[in-house]
């Protein structure tokens, strides 16, 4: 079903009055003096709009009207209402940017340029199949001036260019579908038309993700009546989402532009069971539902109960979770990595693809590992995947009498090393408290915890803990939200944190920040809503209505946080924070090092510095260098860090053991020593893998598999040129797949192979090592340019004759060793 086909009456919900704004630009990408800002008041007491003199309103007395601001700056906007109360004022930052146009793309990929202020309605709704007349004219005009788009991938840094010839005012680009390079960005040349440029556009493009079809006669599966929305999404494909409401379950693969209902066959669940979903998870195997302590899966082919036959408990399951942060690449020395975790009060299971489950720990074993008395009570409180791609965090309940208070402890399990690590964290809470963890996107296992009323923080590797504070009520968010309780917390890759209450009041802060501010109302208190991340990495609301339909709505988090922070006069302590970290994953092989730099610019006498933190095995050394300069009242501090190893692998007793001890995965982050809620980016995080890159391979220069026509090709070796003098000539079939295109050489030209190193990203370097070449079919009509003596050998090296004699039981291609090709 299409979200655009849903008719929504916002005024039908009887919550508190709110007002919002929107633009024609998706995700509020352009919010400038050129933008038409659409104002919308939801309520019954509206009188007129109050706007500054530099802005004009199309109809001042209409609850829904259009606003334009001719001057850049922060403009105070609010509706005037009848009655004693006044509506809240927003301080909207209107830019004077020269960015006016946007890229439009369709999955094929077809690209054109459009002006959101003069676009066709279908283009604004992003369901256009072809450009409008205005867009065709604009695209052709900019193309004449030299504009041409290119698609850049974020992870692998690939570049894809369009065909040379345009078709009907559009560019066509061929892009391979990949799972590990899904995030892409459209960029163009620096070409202006009427002093206007085109904004870069980020989007997600991966293999087509199918939604489970709705089958006639199947019945709804829901959460209990009156409960809040719950959702699950794919960490690396956030546009793929499942939302469970108290009347239906919905699935989408395109951030709810279209969606389907998930229903189950009759006679498997009772009526009460179908309306008792307590948790949901999404994986490649299907959708997992937790119902009354039992795990079920809904796939394309079936809906079934999981239990003993899948190595899971038949009942007593209290939670399921999947990874929240996307790491496409990582170094894994063991065979596999889990995709989900399942737990009871006393057991933890890991789930893998194809419905494989393994029990990894019990509380009895944890008591022994933690040296806890067998008389004490230890149960599993909650489980969550942290930011590390190979770890799992267990929050444990510990108490003796368990009448009034209990202590929450934390242990972390590494799936690669199979080690359990007790962390320096303990939190005393009442015995009936339940805490939900949310791990920060970072190198260290930093996190926040939520109960019904407060947010607890644990920053800087367990060295700073406390309760997130508010201007009043000592951090009790319920008292600032008309006694509502916390529903959910949204976190993104940029360090933003939004706390949403059940009545849709929201609070905002950033990672490593210890206080929160209240955001402006955006949704009335009766609406069922949930925060999600779109395919363009932007936050949006999903609304579920009583008639069983859903609608997505973009949320301008950046603008709203700036407006809420405006009156606090809070400023970012630094002016700029730069670095040269362009990847999220780096590989260090033997003998290699990695140098990175970061630079911070801040006002004189502030005293900031750059913090470099790493988390993982102690297998690398670091060398730091700091450069400092001051000019015109501003300080610039640059830190350069080099990571390297000095392990000597020569003449060791156990080479492979030493290699295993000095390989592994580190997470590294760089951050300013201080920042605030108004700073744009909190920290930079990347992986540093030390070991052998499994994607590397070697090839001989000049051989490729593209520049020739592959066909059945045979050649004959004269029997007189063969070893052992056979009675017949040898007919050999050339292996195109293995060797590639043959290399053409002059008969008299000496051939010296040049070995080159490649990985998934292409050519890396020439391999400057000694190597051997041998003939595998038994020819003996070749000679060598040099003898061992002329080459300076002190001792006789291995020869073809000696090796074939030594390995008579092996084929010729294996007597010397592994092949290069």
Looking at the structure, tell me whether residues 428 and 319 fall in a common domain. yes
Question: Quick one: which H or E segment has residue 564?
Answer: helix 557-566
Q: Which of 198, 226, 245 is the last residue of a domain?
A: 198
Across all residues in the chain, what is the average pLDDT?
90
**Where residue 1 falls among pLDDT bands split at 50, 70, 90?**
low
Looking at the structure, tell me whether residues 178 and 223 fall in a common domain. no
675 found inside a domain: yes
Taking alpha carbons only, the member of 425, 350, 438 closest to residue 386 is: 438
pLDDT tens digits for range 509-558: 999 999 999 999 999 999 999 999 887 778 999 999 999 999 999 999 99
Q: Which of 141, 167, 198 is the last residue of a domain?
A: 198
Looking at the structure, tell me whether residues 219 and 254 fall in a common domain. yes
For CA atoms 335, 336, 341, 342, give the dihedral sign: negative
- Contact status, residue 55 vs residue 70, Cβ threshold 8 Å: yes
Q: For residues 8-13, give the mean pLDDT.
A: 41
Cα–Cα dist 363/741, whole Å: 60
For CA atoms 67, 97, 124, 169, give the dihedral sign: positive
Q: For residues 711-739, give the mean pLDDT.
A: 86
User: What integer pLDDT is reported at residue 764 of this predicted model?
Assistant: 85
User: What integer pLDDT is reported at residue 6 of this predicted model?
Assistant: 47
Taking alpha carbons only, the member of 80, 76, 1 closest to residue 46 is: 80
Looking at the structure, tell me whether residues 232 and 339 fall in a common domain. no
Cα–Cα dist 773/771, whole Å: 7
pLDDT at 376 over 90: yes
488 found inside a domain: no
Cα–Cα dist 761/402, whole Å: 56
Listed range (313-322, 605-614, 691-700) with the worst mean pLDDT: 691-700
Looking at the structure, tell me whether residues 255 and 325 fall in a common domain. no
Q: Which domain holds residue 271?
A: 207-305
For tokens 């001719």, name the residue: 70
Q: Say if strands 263-264 and 277-283 run parallel, antiparallel, or are unpaired.
A: unpaired
Per cent of the chain over pLDDT 90 is 70
Looking at the structure, tell me whether residues 608 and 678 fall in a common domain. yes
Tokens representing residue 257 in the block = 């532009």
pLDDT at 176 over 90: no
The residues facing 654 across adjacent strands are none
pLDDT at 3 over 60: no
Q: For residues 748-766, give the mean pLDDT.
A: 82
154 found inside a domain: yes
Tokens representing residue 684 in the block = 């930079």
Tokens representing residue 66 in the block = 């259009």
125 found inside a domain: yes
Q: Which of 385, 402, 434 is the last residue of a domain?
A: 434
192 found inside a domain: yes
**Where residue 650 falls among pLDDT bands split at 50, 70, 90?**
confident
Question: Quick one: which H or E segment has residue 563?
Answer: helix 557-566
235 found inside a domain: yes
For tokens 């709110």, name the residue: 18
Cα–Cα dist 717/721, whole Å: 7
pLDDT tens digits for range 264-299: 999 999 999 999 999 999 999 999 999 999 999 999
Residue scoring higher pLDDT (488 or 781):
488
Looking at the structure, tell me whether residues 313 and 426 fall in a common domain. yes
- Contact status, residue 152 vs residue 162, Cβ threshold 8 Å: no
Taking alpha carbons only, the member of 647, 761, 766 closest to residue 693 is: 761
Phi, psi for 384 (deg, rounded to 5): -155, 150
Number of domains in the chain: 4
**Where residue 7 falls among pLDDT bands split at 50, 70, 90?**
very low
pLDDT tens digits for range 289-348: 999 999 999 999 999 999 999 999 999 999 999 999 999 889 888 889 999 999 999 999
Looking at the structure, tell me whether residues 154 and 237 fall in a common domain. no
Burial of 253 (0-12, 13-18, 19+ CB in 10 A): buried
- Contact status, residue 540 vs residue 532, Cβ threshold 8 Å: yes
Looking at the structure, tell me whether residues 328 and 420 fall in a common domain. yes
Cα–Cα dist 656/677, whole Å: 48
Which distant-in-sequence residues (6+ apart) come within 8 Å of 60 by Cβ?
A: 48, 49
pLDDT at 816 over 70: no
Cα–Cα dist 645/628, whole Å: 28
User: What integer pLDDT is reported at residue 68 of this predicted model?
Assistant: 96
Looking at the structure, tell me whether residues 116 and 212 fall in a common domain. no
261 found inside a domain: yes
Residue scoring higher pLDDT (190 or 776):
190
Residue scoring higher pLDDT (699 or 688):
688
Looking at the structure, tell me whether residues 366 and 293 fall in a common domain. no
What CATH number has the domain bearing residue 643? 2.60.40
- Contact status, residue 736 vs residue 710, Cβ threshold 8 Å: yes
67 found inside a domain: no
Q: For residues 668-681, give the mean pLDDT.
A: 92
Q: For residues 98-121, give the mean pLDDT.
A: 92
Q: Which of 637-646, 692-701, 755-764 has the highest mean pLDDT?
A: 637-646
**Where residue 2 falls among pLDDT bands split at 50, 70, 90?**
low
Query: Where are the strands (E) in 10-63, listed by range?
Result: 18-22, 37-42, 46-50, 55-57
Looking at the structure, tell me whether residues 427 and 312 fall in a common domain. yes
Which distant-in-sequence residues (6+ apart) come within 8 Å of 335 by Cβ?
A: none
User: What integer pLDDT is reported at residue 754 of this predicted model?
Assistant: 87
Cα 60 → chain centroid: 43
Secondary structure (3-state) at 409: strand
User: What integer pLDDT is reported at residue 371 of this predicted model?
Assistant: 92
HEC-encoded secondary structure of 654-679:
CHHHHHHHCCEEEEEEEEECCCCCCC
Tokens representing residue 302 in the block = 């079936």
**Where residue 811 falls among pLDDT bands split at 50, 70, 90?**
confident
pLDDT at 218 over 70: yes
Tell me the pTM.
0.89
Q: For residues 731-741, give the mean pLDDT.
A: 85
Cα–Cα dist 431/371, whole Å: 22
């Amino acid at each position: 079903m299409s979200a655009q086909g849903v008719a929504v009456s916002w005024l039908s919900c009887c919550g508190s009055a709110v007002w919002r704004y929107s633009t024609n630009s998706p995700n509020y990408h352009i919010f400038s003096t050129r933008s038409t800002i659409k104002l919308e008041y939801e309520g019954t007491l509206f009188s007129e709009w109050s706007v500054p003199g530099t802005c004009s309103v199309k109809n001042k007395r209409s609850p829904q009207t259009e606003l334009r601001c001719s001057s850049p700056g922060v403009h105070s906007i609010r509706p005037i209402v009848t009655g004693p109360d006044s509506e809240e004022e927003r301080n909207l930052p209107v830019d004077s940017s020269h960015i006016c146009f946007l890229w439009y793309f369709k999955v094929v990929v077809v690209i054109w340029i459009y002006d959101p202020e003069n676009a066709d309605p279908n283009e604004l709704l992003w369901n256009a199949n072809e450009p409008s007349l205005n867009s065709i004219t604009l695209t052709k005009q900019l193309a004449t001036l030299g504009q041409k788009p290119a698609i850049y991938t974020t992870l692998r840094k690939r570049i894809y260019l369009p065909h040379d010839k345009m078709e009907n005012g559009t560019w066509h680009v061929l892009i391979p579908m990949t799972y590990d390079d899904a995030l892409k960005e459209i960029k163009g040349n620096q070409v202006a038309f009427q002093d206007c440029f085109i904004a870069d556009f980020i989007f997600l493009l991966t293999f087509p993700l199918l939604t489970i079809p709705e089958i006639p006669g199947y019945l709804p599966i829901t959460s209990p009546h009156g409960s809040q929305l719950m959702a699950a999404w794919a960490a690396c494909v956030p546009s793929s989402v499942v939302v469970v409401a108290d009347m239906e379950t919905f699935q989408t693969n395109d951030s709810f532009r279209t969606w389907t209902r998930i229903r189950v066959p009759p006679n498997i669940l009772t009526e009460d069971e179908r309306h008792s979903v307590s948790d949901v998870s999404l994986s490649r195997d299907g959708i997992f539902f937790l119902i009354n302590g039992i795990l079920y899966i809904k796939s394309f082919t079936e809906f079934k109960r999981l239990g003993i036959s899948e190595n899971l408990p038949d009942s007593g399951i209290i939670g399921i979770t999947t990874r929240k942060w996307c790491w496409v690449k990582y170094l894994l020395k063991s065979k596999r990595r889990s995709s989900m975790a399942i737990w009871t009060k006393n057991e933890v299971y890991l789930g893998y693809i194809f419905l494989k489950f393994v029990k990894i720990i019990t509380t009895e074993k944890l008591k022994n590992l933690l040296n806890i008395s067998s008389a004490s009570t230890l149960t599993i409180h909650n489980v969550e995947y942290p930011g590390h791609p190979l770890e799992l965090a267990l929050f444990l309940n510990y108490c003796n009498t368990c009448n009034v208070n209990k202590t929450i402890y934390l242990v972390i399990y590494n799936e690669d090393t199979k080690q359990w690590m007790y962390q320096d964290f303990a939190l005393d809470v009442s015995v009936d408290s339940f805490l939900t963890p949310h791990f920060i996107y970072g190198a260290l296992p930093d996190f926040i915890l939520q109960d019904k009323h407060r947010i607890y923080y644990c920053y800087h590797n367990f060295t700073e803990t406390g309760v997130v504070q508010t201007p009043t009520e000592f951090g009790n968010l319920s008292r600032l939200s008309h006694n509502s309780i916390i529903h959910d917390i949204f976190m993104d890759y940029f360090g933003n944190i939004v706390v949403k209450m059940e009545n849709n009041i929201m609070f905002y802060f950033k990672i490593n920040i210890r206080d929160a501010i209240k955001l402006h109302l955006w949704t009335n208190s009766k609406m069922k809503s949930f925060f999600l991340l779109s395919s363009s990495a932007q936050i949006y609301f999903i609304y579920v209505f009583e008639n069983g339909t859903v609608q997505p709505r973009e949320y301008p988090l950046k603008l709203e946080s700036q407006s809420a922070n405006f009156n606090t006069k809070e400023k970012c302590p630094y002016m700029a924070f730069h670095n040269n970290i362009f990847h999220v994953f780096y590989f260090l092989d033997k003998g290699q090092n990695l140098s990175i730099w970061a630079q911070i610019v801040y006002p004189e006498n502030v005293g900031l510095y750059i913090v470099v933190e790493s988390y993982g095995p102690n297998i690398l050394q670091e060398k730091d260098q700091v450069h400092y300069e001051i000019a015109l009242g501003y300080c610039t501090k640059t830190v350069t860090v080099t990571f390297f190893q000095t392990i000597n692998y020569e003449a060791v007793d156990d080479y492979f053991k030493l290699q295993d001890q000095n390989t592994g995965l580190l997470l590294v982050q760089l951050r300013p020593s201080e920042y605030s809620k108004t700073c744009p980016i909190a920290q930079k995080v990347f992986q540093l893998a030390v070991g052998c890159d499994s994607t590397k391979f070697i090839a001989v220069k000049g051989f490729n598999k593209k520049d020739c026509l592959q066909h059945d090709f045979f050649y004959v070796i004269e029997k007189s040129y063969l070893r052992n003098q056979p009675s017949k000539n040898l007919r050999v079939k050339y292996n195109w797949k293995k060797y590639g295109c043959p290399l053409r050489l002059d008969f008299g030209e000496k051939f010296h192979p040049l070995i080159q190193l490649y990985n998934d990203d292409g050519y890396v370097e020439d391999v400057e090592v000694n190597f051997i070449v041998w003939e595998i079919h038994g020819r003996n009509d070749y000679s060598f340019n040099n003898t061992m003596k002329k080459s300076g050998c002190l001792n006789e090296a291995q020869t073809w004759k000696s090796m074939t004699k030594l390995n008579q039981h092996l084929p010729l291609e294996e007597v010397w060793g592994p092949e290069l090709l």
